[in-house]
Amino acid sequence: MTIDYKKELENTARNMIFVHDPDLLIRMIARMMVEKAGISHASFFLHNRQKQGYLLKVSRGSLHKRIPLDLVCIDKDDVLIRFFRDHQSNFIFGREALLLSEAKSAVKGRRLKPAVKQRLSQVVYQMELLEVEVCVPNYFRDELLGLLFLGKKTNSRKFSDEELDFFTALNSSVAMAIRNAQLFKQLEYELDRKHQLFIRTTIALAAAIEAKDNYTHGHTNRVSSISMEIANRMKVRAKKNFDGSFLENLHVSSLLHDIGKIGVPEHILNKRGSLTVGERNRIKEHPMIGVGILKSIKELEEAVSGVRYHHERFDGQGYPEGLKGEQIPLIASIITVADSFDAMSSDRPYRTAREKGDVVNEIGQLKGKQFSPLVTDAFLELCREGRI
């Protein structure tokens, strides 16, 4: 079967645009070489900074089961690597792809200088050892990213100039795609690292709140856990389509809902007796203090609504703005139920914890008054199942 190499190159290059995983990209190319170009085996060695060498990332064909992936590494100072790093295949043969038969002929000939001939003979030895008929370097600019090793053709014919040109052109496209995929992977890693840092910072801020209020130890984690349970149940019960962004904002917001208490004097937070009107008003300031602390953090824009409005009531009698019904963001409505349940069922400076059954009954009675009906129904269902 005759292969239209130009068409294959265009199709492969088009498909590579959508692959952001370097290993997957290399596997795709190796499989195509073995299946469509009729080659006995294909292996790809990719530069690895940690290993200080070129690591075998994929092997397809007759050698596939004999070569352990990610264990075979060619040192960066190996003669084969130095040969291509110095672009000597271009210098000797006028092209990047190195054909074993041509290399053997050049070693036997007289036109090469002794030093070059000696290095080329070592390269020939390496290729024979690895059963490689064609070696194609993979460059990004002048950097040697990897090496593609190809075995004999399954029909035992010689490689044509058209095929060698195809391998070189394909490898050039692969180099750009691999570099892009590596950059994409690095970006993913950096975003994940920043995200983990962000979550750990959030948890640290939540711990700072609890360190100030002696009677709320574990409160923020419990509120966060209950809030997530409610949201997940609402996805099923009310067929709410919560995306990952909503759930993450709820998680962060529930952890930070009381961050504003950092700005409330400790003697008020930990007072054992009844609060005065003035002291009660100071505590009511904590949602807006929390907003003031967090508003400059762009990543928290969506989560701040839960901090601001978690003391609003469904009947409009809450604070700080007296929002009513659906005016209250859903994040805040969920946190309100979780926060109220944990507050009533935990010890406080001015009273002991109430029985769980009494608290659940009271929340049910306040459905549509203090609490959102949709949120309350999900909460009550979870309580009946023993999940809260």
Read off the pLDDT of residues 9-47 as tens digits, 9 standing for 90 and up: 556 655 665 666 767 777 777 777 677 778 888 888 888
Using CA atoms, how far apart are residues 209 and 218, in angstroms rounded to an integer?
Answer: 10
Residue with more model confidence, 10 or 61: 61
Cis check for the bond before 349: say yes or no (omega within 30 of 0): no
CB count within 10 Å of CB 84 equals 21
Query: Phi/psi class of residue 78: alpha, beta or left (left: φ > 0; alpha: ψ in -120 to 50)?
Result: beta
Average pLDDT on 122-127 reads 92
Amino acid at 253: S
66 pLDDT higher than 70: no
Q: What is the pLDDT of residue 164?
A: 80
CB count within 10 Å of CB 145 equals 21
Using CA atoms, how far apart are residues 330 and 240, in angstroms rounded to an integer?
Answer: 11
Parts of the chain belonging to CATH 1.10.3210.10: 213-384
- Enter the pTM of the model: 0.56
Structure tokens at 334: 């969920």
244 pLDDT higher than 90: no
- Work out the mean pLDDT of the chain and round it to a whole number: 84
The mean-pLDDT minimum among 188-202, 290-304, 374-388 falls in 188-202
253 pLDDT higher than 90: yes
Q: What is the pLDDT of residue 29?
A: 73
Q: Sheet of 53-61: strands edge to edge?
A: 73-75, 53-61, 41-48, 143-150, 134-140, 98-99
Structure tokens at 382: 């979870």
Read off the pLDDT of residues 267-296 as tens digits, 9 standing for 90 and up: 888 787 788 899 899 999 999 999 998 887
Q: What CATH number belongs to 5-185?
A: 3.30.450.40
Query: Phi/psi class of residue 105: alpha, beta or left (left: φ > 0; alpha: ψ in -120 to 50)?
Result: alpha
**Could you tell me where the beta strands, DSSP code E, fall in the chain?**
41-48, 53-61, 73-75, 98-99, 134-140, 143-150
Average pLDDT on 48-57 reads 87
Task: For residue 69, name the pLDDT band (cuts at 50, 70, 90).
Answer: low
The mean-pLDDT minimum among 115-124, 208-217, 226-235, 371-380 falls in 208-217
Q: Percentage of the chain with pLDDT > 70?
A: 85
**Residue 375, H or E segment:** helix 373-384
Q: What is the pLDDT of residue 22?
A: 67
Parts of the chain belonging to CATH 3.30.450.40: 5-185
Is the Cβ–Cβ distance between 292 and 262 less than 8 Å? Answer: no
What's 213-384's CATH class?
A: mainly alpha
108 pLDDT higher than 70: yes
What are the φ/ψ torsions at residue 310 (nearest 5 degrees)? Answer: -75, -5
Using CA atoms, how far apart are residues 366 and 332, in angstroms rounded to an integer?
Answer: 16
| Class of residue 22 by CB neighbours under 10 A (exposed 0-12, middle 13-18, buried 19+) | buried
Helix (H, G, I), strand (E, B) or coil at 238: coil
Using CA atoms, how far apart are residues 41 and 30, in angstroms rounded to an integer?
Answer: 8
Is the Cβ–Cβ distance between 260 and 291 less than 8 Å? Answer: yes
